[in-house]
Amino acid sequence: METNFVDYVRICCRSGKGGAGSVHFHRDKLTAFGGPDGGNGGRGGHIILRGNKQFWTLIHLKYRKHIIAEAGINGSSGNSTGKQGEDDILDVPLGTVARDAETGEIHFEITEEGQEVILVPGGRGGLGNANFKNSTLQSPQFAQPGELGKTEWKVLELKVLADVGLVGFPNAGKSTLLSVISAAKPEIANYPFTTLVPNLGIVPYRDYKSFVVADIPGIIEGAHEGKGLGLRFLRHIERNSSLLFLVSCDSKDIVDEYKILLNELKKFNPELLDKKRILAISKADMMDDELEQEMRKDLNKRLKGKNKVSFIFFSSASQKNLQQLKDLLWQQLNDD
């Protein structure tokens, strides 16, 4: 299935070469043998990443494999510095992480609108011969060459920025929930992996407040090893402030399913378990009050100690407890 959502690109970046310094001596109709006046070379162009909140995907870089910045211009007479090479500025979504393609080392992350960071610096311009004049060397016959630009392979990864990340197995009801609490219109169907890309929705709250929820594609057991959609989307959870675990009420064992989800996050990145979380049991319109009470007792008994977590039953279809769920999320997001 072709998608416009691209969250990983590998690009070859070549920054601009610096211009050479000039070897020149001042000459005019009144001066036959003037001093050195060779100017410096211009800096080569940088390759820069710039945060742009209008972008939500890296698709514009998917087919642009080679990024080449302009070379600097050589210096000239009259101490004239050469023009610097034009920078190549790449707009990227907020949440983009830049890393070295060979070593995997993380360079930086773009998190703010308009933030600019140099990904690959351009070569420095060489010094003209005027810089080398001194009391013992009145007429230097040399200048510096421009510094070469760098050619490096870089990886850009997008980690979705959202307040709340929806975590659950395929068909837990994440997309349906997002569609009823926000204006997002994710694809919804009764088969696994309907959601193939993260979907973001802005959830309106009381008194004109709002928060952002991300529907992360379904996790399966073994996702941390790359099974299912695996590692491709687990990284998006790293940037969510809070996690909402969704388990369907018709699950064979709600607590076991919740623990499997927790375990996948732990094996991918143990720090994810430090995030605030809520367990939401979906499709509660399928249960009567008596069954719900029995399940509540069982959950209260089993979700104690290190497994303790707030839980709530809700239904996207009947909108049962939806406002209470939003209240819980808002309280958790704003709880110091």
- We report the CATH number of the domain holding residue 141 as 2.70.210.12
- Verify that 121 and 200 share a domain, yes or no: no
The yes-or-no verdict on residue 173 having pLDDT over 50 is: yes
Residue indicated by tokens 């732990």: 266
Query: pTM of this prediction?
Result: 0.67
Q: What is the pLDDT of residues 191-231, one digit of tens each?
A: 443 444 667 778 888 888 888 888 877 565 554 444 444 44
Cα–Cα distance for residue pair 83/150, rounded to 1 Å: 19
| Sign of the CA dihedral with 173 first, then 165, 100, and 48 last | positive
The yes-or-no verdict on residue 7 having pLDDT over 90 is: no
Q: What is the pLDDT of residues 123-150, one digit of tens each?
A: 999 999 999 999 889 899 999 999 999 9
| pLDDT confidence of residue 85 | 96
At residue 274 the predicted structure's pLDDT band, cuts being 50, 70 and 90, is confident
- Verify that 145 and 262 share a domain, yes or no: no
| pLDDT confidence of residue 2 | 42
- Verify that 224 and 96 share a domain, yes or no: no
Cα–Cα distance for residue pair 23/32, rounded to 1 Å: 16
- Verify that 124 and 179 share a domain, yes or no: no
| pLDDT confidence of residue 336 | 61
Please provide the DSSP assignment of 10-32 as one string.
Answer: EEEEEPPPPPPPP--B--BTTBS
| Percent of the chain at pLDDT exceeding 70 | 87
- Domain boundary pick from 112, 128, 158: 158
The yes-or-no verdict on residue 44 having pLDDT over 90 is: yes
Give the type of residue at 118. I
Write the DSSP symbol of residue 306. Answer: G
Cα–Cα distance for residue pair 199/181, rounded to 1 Å: 13
56-60, 247-251, 252-256: least confidently modelled range: 56-60
At residue 245 the predicted structure's pLDDT band, cuts being 50, 70 and 90, is very high
The token duo for 235 is 């990284």
Cα–Cα distance for residue pair 142/105, rounded to 1 Å: 39
The token duo for 251 is 């699950």
- Domain boundary pick from 158, 180, 213: 158
Q: Region 94-113: what's the mean pLDDT?
A: 92
| pLDDT confidence of residue 184 | 60
* Whole-Å CA distances, 147 to 23, 30, 118, 194, 278: 16, 36, 17, 51, 55
Is residue 208 classed as helix, strand or coil in its secondary structure? helix
Task: Taking each helix axis as running N to C, give the angle between helix 174-181 and helix 322-333, from 0 to 180 degrees, rounded to the nearest 10.
Answer: 90
Q: What is the pLDDT of residues 160-172, one digit of tens each?
A: 767 888 888 877 7
* Whole-Å CA distances, 152 to 10, 15, 70, 108, 145: 11, 9, 15, 16, 22
- Domain boundary pick from 104, 123, 158: 158
